[in-house]
Structure 1
Amino acid sequence: MNAATPRLIHIDDMADPVVTPELAAWREGPDDFPCPMTADEVLARAMAETGLDDFGEDTGFRTRLGVILDALYEDEGLTRGGRVFVLQQAVRAMANRLRVEDLIRRHPEILDVPVEKPIFIAGLPRSGTTHLVNWLSRDDRLDSLTLWESEEPVAGPPLPPGETDPRMARSAAYWGAFGALVPHMTAMHEMAANDIHEDNELLFMDMNCYNWEFSCRLPRWTAHYLAHDRTASYAYERKVLQAIAWQRGRKNGVRWLLKSPQHMENLAAIKAVFPDATMVITHRDPVDVLRSLTTMLGYSDRTRRDPVDPPGLARLWTGRIEKLLRECVAQRDAFGPEQSIDVAFHEYMADQEGMARRIYRLAGLDLPPETEARLLGYLSENPRHAQGKVVYDLEGVFGVDIAALRERFAFYYERFPVKQEN
């Protein structure tokens, strides 16, 4: 079987998952982790784990943490294990913040590390951003974040030569266990510790990352997040990028290649904090995005929800995608044509090499033969649907009216030349 005829994957228990003993245990979560927890208890646990107590300037993260937890406990369909996961993420994020602040206190020169002309990739979930950032990261003139490094950006004590970083080992162990529960995830969005990942993980440390919404249903949190300016949180991300570059020995700075769907709704904040950034925005038919996204989230919901409620998930994410797109339309002019490009998904799929050249010209980068060979190597090593192609059923399983959905997204189709896929 070749890439032209991928293996078709039918997930026939989406609405009523088969619950194995391993899945049941995951839904319950570890007995030794407290649940529920207050915001003060999350902060105290982070301090106990690190032995540190200085979180730096309060940019509003404490308030946001409280809102996240309030919203978390309002999600009635979430299992105990689902709540524990979010609490663990919150503790990890606050521990990371403590470590970042401690590192900068001991090495204030970190704040002198330049962050110049970063390249940001924004776009809807499932619109090709992960493929694009992993592809362009083959250019060794650009620095990106691996999944494991984004999860724990401050290194521990120096390691002996050849020894694996324990941060990488922890990430690989967690995502390996998760992948064993939902093996079809590799065909949709593999979470591999060494792959290039989203920089919005760094926004976790300011409690302003929309990734919370992938793990549970948090309308209270989403409303709070969208009602407040996010510029200070991107300024905190910039500080973390400086710390990572300094740890890599890049004291004169690096050119970052960064990506996240969340950037679509934060274009003005990014322009304020990174005024010389290049912004690459991918655009895909939101109906097709929802086909893919609801299937991916609906499939993984079996690890954290009981019942899973696919129609409720589709309603939630239809509204969330609309909010994201309306923010993108409203803020698109924050970046002018001399610093930004809109990449239509169908054009990108038809001519990936040509699109790369357009992005490179915009970013002021040449494309020497050795770099182009590395980029082409990624394409040949990672054909589309190599792990199989999931069959989606947005209408049947998720109960969505496609015609009504297209009417709802008319404002987006009118603003960007998006091809309606099916």
Structure 2
Amino acid sequence: MGALLKAYGRLFVRSWCPDYGGTLKGVSPRRWLVMALFWPLFVLLQAINGAGLLLDYLLFPDFRRVRVREPLFVVGVPRSGTTFLHRLLAGDRERFTTTALWELIFAPSITQRFFWRGVGRLDALVGAPLSRLFFRLERWVLGGLDDVHQTGLRDPEEDYLALLPVLGCFLLVLAVPDPALWRLTYADRDLPAAEKRRLMAAYRRFVQRHLYFHGEHRTFLSKNPSFTPFMATLADAFPDARFIGCLRNPTAAVPSQINSIVIGGKLFDGRDTADYWREGFLAMLDYYYRHLLEQLDGLPEGRGALSVMETLAAAPGESVSGFYRTFGWTPSPAYRAFLDGEDRRAAGYRSGHRYSLENLGVDPGRLAATFGWVYDRFGYPRPGD
């Protein structure tokens, strides 16, 4: 606990005036304003959630006995169809349970989930005025992000957010561009063994809580591109886990991810920090591609599968059916019908996310040099071809 509080203090101090690796000088007034709002809200939320997590030990102590059986981890290169695949799989509600955004932010504990379930039922009895107000507020806050990453509080979301309280969530790098958080992107390689054990212990408790609330008989479904560098650590912590790794043409995946992070970075700082994020993410994504394929190749037969975005987007139903065959599963008739509907919907989908290599300063030659082995292995045309 002392080490964690010390880490919080270090990030708090560094968040006000990050050096962005020497690419920017001085202090952004916008950052000071955002930090003045961010830290009180963040600490208050963690305090409330922490109280709920402690109450679980008093009110629901049996959650610690829940067995986590054969969890499925959807990992991969960011912007490579992980969200699409996650929501396809989450449609099999008889088999899977997964995390919604509201649970991750406002109710990581069993205690909080029962509390909010009770509030929801009371609200429904009087015509759901709170639900309608909440939905309007949700669209006002999150609607602007739909072209980049469509999400809502009730939608399936990445459960690495559950590691926010223990500083194991890479998303914090937007608030604090700090080497300690960047190290999470090379976790299997760079994190000390004790740090890996600490994060996996916290994550296992979170999964146990989720299964206790939603049903121990169900399979836990996780989607986290940020867990790609944790694949070996996760395989050790959950020896019977399955993995689906998602991959996409670097010409699309790399600028798309840089665009997403640049948008987030500007919200926190207000200045043009694209150079900093571009350099960091080019190195990070090269590691992601390599580590993903190395780890999938090293898994026992029937434990891992590769999802290529271009194939998944063209034939989602058949792609998911192939993953089921790999893992020895049989889709139910209801889920098969759901996949057929997704096939029809995917045929008419057009992304609203727009970006270009030139606007983001991603040199096509450098992209080809960094990811040339990916282009060659998967037959992707190189930039400019």
> Does structure 1 residue 299 correspond to structure 2 residue 248?
no
3-state SS in 1 of match to 2:11: helix
Contact 1:126–1:292 under 8 Å retained in 2: yes
- Root mean square deviation, CA, Å: 3.2
Post-superposition offset of 1:291: 1.4
Which among 388, 395, 406 is matched to residue 368 of structure 2? 406
Residue in 1 that maps onto 2:201 = 235
Contact 1:145–1:198 under 8 Å retained in 2: yes
> Does structure 1 residue 354 correspond to structure 2 residue 338?
no
- Give the Cα–Cα distance (whole angstroms) in 2 for the partners of residues 412 and 378 of structure 1: 29
Identify unmatched segments of 5+ residues in structure 2.
19-26
- Give the Cα–Cα distance (whole angstroms) in 1 for the partners of residues 238 and 2 of structure 2: 18
Post-superposition offset of 1:134: 0.7
Q: What letter matches 1:105 in structure 2?
A: L
Contact 1:59–1:232 under 8 Å retained in 2: no
- Give the Cα–Cα distance (whole angstroms) in 2 for the partners of residues 330 and 285 of structure 1: 18
Q: What letter matches 2:272 in structure 1?
A: V
Which among 314, 322, 344 is matched to residue 286 of structure 2? 322
Contact 1:294–1:314 under 8 Å retained in 2: yes
Post-superposition offset of 1:205: 2.8
- Give the Cα–Cα distance (whole angstroms) in 2 for the partners of residues 223 and 82 of structure 1: 24
Residue in 1 that maps onto 2:158 = 198
**Could you say if the C-alpha distance between residues 59 and 117 of structure 1 is closer, same or farther in structure 2, counting changes exceeding 3 Å?**
farther
Which among 117, 123, 140 is matched to residue 177 of structure 1? 140
Identical residues among aligned pairs (%): 18
Residue in 2 that maps onto 1:82 = 34
Which among 28, 52, 69 is matched to residue 12 of structure 2? 69
> Does structure 1 residue 123 correspond to structure 2 residue 123?
no
- Give the Cα–Cα distance (whole angstroms) in 2 for the partners of residues 170 and 335 of structure 1: 47
Which among 55, 61, 65 is matched to residue 112 of structure 1? 65
Post-superposition offset of 1:173: 6.4
Q: Deviations over 1:143-184 (max 9, x none)?
A: 01111112122325333636379998898566533346xx3x
3-state SS in 2 of match to 1:163: helix
Q: How does 1:207-286 map to 2 (within 5 A)?
A: 207-215=167-175, 217-223=177-183, 226=187, 227-229=190-192, 230-248=196-214, 250=215, 252-286=216-250
Contact 2:78–2:225 under 8 Å retained in 1: yes
> Does structure 1 residue 96 correspond to structure 2 residue 58?
no
3-state SS in 1 of match to 2:305: strand
Post-superposition offset of 1:402: 1.5
- Give the Cα–Cα distance (whole angstroms) in 1 for the partners of residues 346 and 134 of structure 2: 22
3-state SS in 2 of match to 1:348: helix
**Could you say if the C-alpha distance between residues 188 and 364 of structure 1 is closer, same or farther in structure 2, counting changes exceeding 3 Å?**
same
Post-superposition offset of 1:284: 1.4
Contact 1:267–1:335 under 8 Å retained in 2: no
**Could you say if the C-alpha distance between residues 231 and 377 of structure 1 is closer, same or farther in structure 2, counting changes exceeding 3 Å?**
farther
- Give the Cα–Cα distance (whole angstroms) in 2 for the partners of residues 85 and 322 of structure 1: 35
TM-score after normalising by structure 1: 0.74
Q: Structure 1 or 2: larger helix share?
A: 2
**Could you say if the C-alpha distance between residues 261 and 405 of structure 1 is closer, same or farther in structure 2, counting changes exceeding 3 Å?**
same
Residue in 2 that maps onto 1:419 = 380
Identify unmatched segments of 5+ residues in structure 1.
1-57
**Could you say if the C-alpha distance between residues 339 and 373 of structure 1 is closer, same or farther in structure 2, counting changes exceeding 3 Å?**
same
Post-superposition offset of 1:320: 2.9
Q: How many residues align?
A: 357
